[in-house]
Amino acid sequence: MGTIQHDAILITMSDLFVVPDTLKIHYRQEEGDFRLIDHLEHLAQVAGLGDLVLKQEKQSINGYRTLVIVPDGSKEYWTESDDYNRARESFLESIKDLLCTVIVVSYGDLGNSVKELEDNV
């Protein structure tokens, strides 16, 4: 039957975050048009996770938005699972210096865990 382990990433950020000018230039955005959540979505696509991204379009109270990378659904130790695991690691590495809260959730046959990544807070 195979081992099922679901891995998800939740990232919450504020639209009030001051975006570095280098990112604005990279995306050719004018002042006020850039949203950090769009940058995170782009980084997820670059890492190979684009088909797993859910993005909150409308900001909630106090300007917060959340981006979720949902589990890929593959069985552990399959090539697809390994590819997505590497993609998640690459994505997390690419956002480690951004000011956002990152929670990594894992649940399934291998146990359950929830952890907040320290680099981003």
Confidence check: pLDDT of 3 > 90: yes
3-class DSSP state for residue 86? helix
Contacts of 72 (CB under 8 A, 6+ apart): 7, 52, 80, 81, 84
What is the mean predicted confidence (pLDDT) over 80-89?
A: 96
Kindly list the structural domains of the chain, giving each domain's residue range(s) and its CATH number in brackets, ordered by start: 5-120 (3.30.70)
Q: What is the pLDDT of residues 49-65, one digit of tens each?
A: 999 999 987 877 777 88
* pLDDT for position 35: 72
Radius of gyration for the alpha carbons in the chain, expressed in angstroms and rounded? 15
Confidence check: pLDDT of 22 > 90: no
Q: How many CB atoms lie within 10 A of CB 89?
A: 11
